[in-house]
Structure 1
Amino acid sequence: MPGPLSTLKVLDFSTLLPGPYATMMLADMGAEVLRVEAPDRVDLAKVMPPFDGKFSTTFSYLSRGKQTQQLNLKQPESVEKIKELVKDYDIVVEQFRPGVMDRLGVGYETLKAINPKLIYCAITGYGQTGPYKDRAGHDINYLAISGVASHCGRADSGPPPMGIQIADVAGGSHHAVMGILAAVIQRQQTGQGAFIDISMTDAAFALNAMAGAAALAGGVEQKPEGGMLNGGTFYDYYQTSDGRWLSVGSLEPQFSARLCDALGISEMKSFALSQNPEHQQRLKAAIKEKIAGKTFAEWREVFAEVDACVEPVLTIEEAAEHPQIVARGMVVEKARGDGVGQRQLGGPIRFSSP
């Protein structure tokens, strides 16, 4: 069946991760995406190892469901080609620094004059305005200045370099898709397109959520290992005897009681509900000691039958084989650029059949 966005056509000028991830999400939902690739500008995502076949695994994944056309936007004939294409497209996504598309002759005002219904989404590190708008940055920088990194990690070692790109994907990509789809709804009502300004730093700042609400409204800054959900309580990770890890999220009374029973520390149930930091640290120490006494496999067997919000920390390959991930179809087989099948992460949004 055609996807719910099958009536939308997207011109994608983006490279690296945020924009391509956003347009992949649109393609997964049925949109027709044409990726405009500069023949004289290497997309680092294409040449960044590891590789599977000709291209990097990242590039093959992000190119899913898209067509590609090479156009050198520094050439007048390519600019004219874009102006012709945009007459028939609904959405433009770009990830250049502010002003670059204008200098190339295909900025929003120019394209809007050709197609007033055009939805134009610009994804940048810091947005189209402000003193940092022309400054270079990466995910780690956006997390730093947005305050996110300040309350992550351990008190004695500082913020960790994360294994996923939080500002790029959870910030830039997902907020871009939400903004685009909101603009599509608005266009249905007004007939007018829109310019969408997505800042990955803005998005990361918004991801502070509960910690941000406390800091801004209550003046309470969360420190590493200083809050309920960032290591300040028994809600944490614990190492098994063979060097693997378990996640313990047993916050509610019924779950913490089951946790204590399963670990053989039933006498400490009241500590789990206490707001006394000393009680929490004593409970953490007890949990740490107990979990260190058995292997990863042994604890998986114990908690397989105990509904206590305790789960193993899996590798990506292990996660791909987990019954829940398998049942949800989150690993898919798609053709990479040379037509050979490749296992990839599936799209997380599910639609019922008509």
Structure 2
Amino acid sequence: MPSPLHSLKVLDFSTLLPGPYATLLLADLGAEVLRIEAPDRVDLTKVMPPFDGAHSTAFSYLTRGKRTLTLNLKTPEAVAEVKALVRDYDIVVEQFRPGVMDRLGIGYKTLRQINPRLIYCAITGYGQTGPYRLRAGHDINYLALSGVASHCGRADSGPPPLGIQVADVAGGSHHAVMGILAAVIRRQQTGEGAFVDISMTDAAFALNAMAGAAALAGGVEPVPEGGLLNGGSFYDYYQTRDGRWLSVGSLEPQFSARLCEVLGLSDHKPLALNQDPAAQRRLKAAIAERVATQTLDEWRAVFADVDACVEPVLTVSEAAEHPQLKARGMVIEVDRGDGTRQRQIGVPIRFA
């Protein structure tokens, strides 16, 4: 069966993470992706350690399944080459600040005259409009301005610098792919292309979801450790005797009852259903004291056959070896083109 997006061709002008991750998803689903690489502007992911041999691990992963063409977009010859290519391509993805592609002579208004069916996706920190449209930023800034960081972390230490790029990936990349594919469906109906404007700050703001609904419609401003899901209840992480961590998400009554029974805290079961902050603090303290008496491996054995929403906090390498992720094929081996293979994160979308 052909890959779902096998008929789509993508010109990718992006660097770093958001755009390349978006086009990686498209490539993994079968799209033909051609990266346009500048000869004099190094993509930082290409030189970012760690390396696997001569290859940056990040760059090898983000360029999987793509071809590369080196063009100096400041030259008339390169501009002419792009204009020729775009006649045969469905999608353009770029990540420059607003106006850069126009100044190069290959912005949306120019390219749509060549190919009216073109879907052009611009991924930026703040979008194509608004007072911040030309401002520089990174993931941590988008999470700060969108309100996401304000209710993450601990009350006494503030928001943490996260280990993953939430605004870049969950915001920019995923919303870009959704916007592109929505435009593809509309093009099938109308024959017209589209300009897709993705702001990573907009997308991060949308990720507030339930906390955002509470603030905007309910007048309840979320704060760290102030809600059911951000540390304000027993739904939390607990340190084990060996310094590892156990996640406890036993919110529903049947799960919290099993949790308390397994931990020997049956007298505390009523506290799990009590939303009073003081009751939650007492329950958290009891769970923390109990969890600290055994190692992570010991707790894994205890909860192995208990359906209570309790799981170990694994490292990335440990997660790769977990039987669930292995059964799902989430670690693959990719041919690097030099006779060697590299382990990478697999494709998280399955089709029956």
Shorter-chain TM-score range: over 0.9
Task: Give 2:64's aligned residue.
Answer: 64
CA contact (8 A) 1:61 1:336 kept: no
SS in 2 for 1:238: strand
Counterpart CA distance in 2 for 1:53 and 1:15 is 22
- What pairs up with 1:1-354 in 2 under 5 angstroms? 1-336=1-336, 338-352=338-352
The alignment's TM-score, normalised by the length of structure 2, stands at 0.99
Residue identity matched to 1:164? I
SS in 2 for 1:197: strand
Residue identity matched to 2:165? Q
**Displacement of 1:305:** 1.2
CA contact (8 A) 1:9 1:91 kept: yes
SS in 1 for 2:334: strand
Counterpart CA distance in 2 for 1:124 and 1:300 is 43
Counterpart CA distance in 2 for 1:208 and 1:336 is 39
Counterpart CA distance in 2 for 1:184 and 1:339 is 37
Counterpart CA distance in 2 for 1:221 and 1:54 is 49
Residue identity matched to 1:142? Y
SS in 1 for 2:87: helix
Amino-acid identity (%): 79
Counterpart CA distance in 2 for 1:19 and 1:337 is 23
CA contact (8 A) 1:18 1:123 kept: yes
Counterpart CA distance in 2 for 1:338 and 1:196 is 37
SS in 2 for 1:88: coil
Distance 1:200 1:339, change over 3 A: farther
Counterpart CA distance in 2 for 1:52 and 1:137 is 29
Deviations 1:303-327 (A, max 9, x none): 0011100000000000000010000
Distance 1:297 1:59, change over 3 A: same
Structure 1, unaligned stretches of length 5 or more? none
**Displacement of 1:276:** 1.1
Counterpart CA distance in 2 for 1:338 and 1:114 is 38
SS in 2 for 1:158: coil
Residue identity matched to 1:78? A
- Give runs of ≥4 in structure 1 deviating > 4 Å: none
**Displacement of 1:77:** 0.4
Deviations 1:6-58 (A, max 9, x none): 00000000000000000000000000000000011010010110011222100
Deviations 1:71-106 (A, max 9, x none): 000010010000000000000000000000000110
Counterpart CA distance in 1 for 2:336 and 2:220 is 49
**Displacement of 1:338:** 3.8
**Displacement of 1:339:** 4.9
Residue identity matched to 1:235? Y
Farther off after superposition, 171-180 or 338-347:
338-347
Residue identity matched to 1:107? G
Counterpart CA distance in 1 for 2:117 and 2:327 is 40
Counterpart CA distance in 2 for 1:338 and 1:102 is 38
Deviations 1:243-292 (A, max 9, x none): 00000000000000000000000011110000111111000000000000
Distance 1:176 1:339, change over 3 A: farther
RMSD: 0.7
CA contact (8 A) 1:15 1:43 kept: yes
Residue identity matched to 1:29? L
Counterpart CA distance in 2 for 1:44 and 1:10 is 22
Distance 1:165 1:25, change over 3 A: same
CA contact (8 A) 1:234 1:280 kept: yes
Counterpart CA distance in 2 for 1:340 and 1:90 is 33
Counterpart CA distance in 1 for 2:344 and 2:209 is 30
Counterpart CA distance in 2 for 1:185 and 1:339 is 39
Counterpart CA distance in 2 for 1:221 and 1:307 is 33
SS in 1 for 2:109: helix
Counterpart CA distance in 2 for 1:273 and 1:81 is 65
Counterpart CA distance in 2 for 1:55 and 1:342 is 10
